[in-house]
Amino acid sequence: MSKDICQIRLIVGLGNVGSEYDHTRHNIGYDLLTKLCDKFSVTLTPEAKFSGLTGRGKIADSEVRFIFPTTYMNESGRAVGALATFFKIKPEEILVLHDDLDLEPGFMKLKFAGGLAGHNGLRSITKCLANSQNYYRLRLGIGKPPSKDVISWVLGRPNSADQNKIDDAYQTAIIGIEMLFTQGVSKATALINGFKPN
């Protein structure tokens, strides 16, 4: 097996729980997670001890767990930390899918470790992983708000043009995530980071 092949054991989709948050910009990570689960025939079910919706399936020949923390964004780490501790999953075996203000809609970046860019979900996860930032992130662009009202922006829904770009990105993201397991980090990163929406 190539040393570049990624040993991801847990994929996390960030967002807020509740119908009022469905398909908002802040829930873009969860939306991608649900599409991944559809692709790999994974069913997410509530699991109280992990404070989230969890599932298990296979990508290529690797067993992977999936979680959507139902704690609200700012407490996402409670769910991730509990599941990672229980199944002895290391930070470097985790991939977090999340929204990113610094990327335009439809653009993505796959990266390992690094800063938190003011993202409260990542901050909570880092804290609950013994302050380790050594996990993978798939940053999904939502663009910057036209005004300084960031909260209303992230909790709002994209317009149809932006949503079309995001939907296109999801398809490439799913291919790229599978490539992590089959062709390695370098090729997956090149595909995801090189994607440009129409």
pLDDT of amino acid 85: 96
Q: Report the binding-site residues.
A: 21, 72, 74, 120
Phi first, then psi: what are they for 35, rounded to 5°?
A: -70, -35
- The average confidence (pLDDT) of the chain is 93
**Mean pLDDT value of segment 156-164:** 96
The answer to whether residue 27 is domain-embedded is: yes
The predicted pLDDT at position 20 comes to: 94
Model confidence over 135-153: pLDDT tens digits? 999 999 999 998 888 899 9
Give the single-character DSSP code of 99.
Answer: E
Top pLDDT among 5 and 108 is at 108
Decide if 98 is inside a domain: yes
Cα 127 from Cα 133, distance rounded (Å): 9
1 vs 63, more confident: 63
Q: What is the pTM of this model?
A: 0.95
Active site residues: 26
Residue 3 located in a structural domain:
no
**pLDDT (average), residues 46-62:** 95
Helices and strands (DSSP H and E) totals, the chain: 6, 7
Q: Residue 154 in contact with residue 99, Cβ under 8 Å?
A: yes
Average pLDDT over residues 145-173: 93
93 is a domain residue: yes
State pLDDT tens for residues 83-102: 999 999 999 999 999 999 99
Do 172 and 195 meet the contact criterion of CB atoms below 8 Å apart? yes
Burial bucket for residue 97 (CB in 10 Å: 0-12, 13-18, 19+): buried
Pick from 163, 197, 164, 190: nearest CA to 176: 190
Quick one: pLDDT at residue 1?
44
Q: Please check whether residue 1 lies inside any domain of the structure.
A: no
Q: Which residues are annotated as a binding site for tRNA?
A: 21, 72, 74, 120
Residue 62 has pLDDT above 60, yes or no: yes
Q: Are strands 52-59 and 62-69 parallel, antiparallel or unpaired?
A: antiparallel
- Residue with the two structure tokens 């509530």: 46
Give the CB-side neighbour count of residue 135, counting CA atoms within 13 A: 33
Residue 5 lies in a domain: no
- CATH code of the domain containing 92: 3.40.50.1470
| Cβ proximity of 56 and 44 under 8 Å | no
Could you tell me if residue 18 is inside a domain? yes
Q: According to the model, what pLDDT value does residue 3 have?
A: 54
Domain enclosing residue 97, as ranges: 10-193
Q: The tokens 């799913």 sit on which residue?
A: 174
Dist. CA 128–CA 121, nearest whole Å: 11
Domain count, the chain: 1
